[in-house]
Amino acid sequence: MKPVDVLSQDTPWSQIHTLMVPAYLQTWLMVGIVMLFVVTLGGLLGVVLFNTSKRGLFPHASLNHALSWLVNMGRSLPFLVLMAAIIPFTFWLTGTTIGTPAAVIPMIVAGTPFFARLVENALRELPADVTAVGLVSGGSTWQIITRAQISEALPAIVAGIVLNLISMIEYSAIAGTIGAGGIGYLAVVYGYQRFDNHIMIATIIVLIVTIQLIQFIGDRLVASLQHAKGTHSS
């Protein structure tokens, strides 16, 4: 879609889908790429944060404080400010400051520390004996992390993924201001610049329904994991 600078009438309702469907799919493509990096990098960072703390497998106060400071710094800036602040870094990586590639980088930078803190908090909520039992059983560091810590904290981690996914969809809409594509771009170019009320209304409805559906599915998945965990424990 190319930006349109002239005013026009509202897009007929019968034609809304011709603009909305491609934008919606583009949003999910962008969010999917971002979540792949966020869950991988943020999950690893969250595990390291917890295990370098006093309760972890390899306590290291200096490293823990440094990583915690880095995570807090990444969570301090509103996404729009962060997106502008790292423009040189984004351009260095992607060679552009507009479009989907330019939006994916700040979204990853914003989402990774947020998810890392969620993972760390999920592991902190575990009973202290979860790690201790793994050590007594002679498990390796990898086995304790995957089969004890992450396995026991899985419902909370999945809830964190759902929360982060919703945030990334919201960020993708904001990224529309730099021509990132997707629903946000559609809302800016047609809904705002062309004062197209039909597009704006359709965008709002689609976003609300999408977020509600994600939260509903996420809640059911977390509940099933908690039930399975309780059944296994008993």
**pLDDT, tens digit only, all 234 positions of the chain:** 444 444 457 888 888 889 899 999 999 999 999 999 999 999 999 999 999 998 888 999 999 999 999 999 888 888 888 888 888 998 998 888 888 888 899 999 999 999 999 999 999 998 888 877 777 777 788 888 988 899 899 999 999 999 999 999 989 888 877 777 888 888 888 877 778 888 889 999 999 999 999 999 999 999 998 887 766 555
Q: Classify residue 125 by burial, with Cβ atoms within 10 Å: 0-12, 13-18, 19+.
A: exposed
Residue boundaries of the structural domains of the chain: 13-233
Whole-model pTM: value is: 0.87
As its CATH architecture, domain 13-233 has: Orthogonal Bundle (1.10)
Q: How many Å apart are CA 116 and CA 34, to the nearest integer?
A: 14
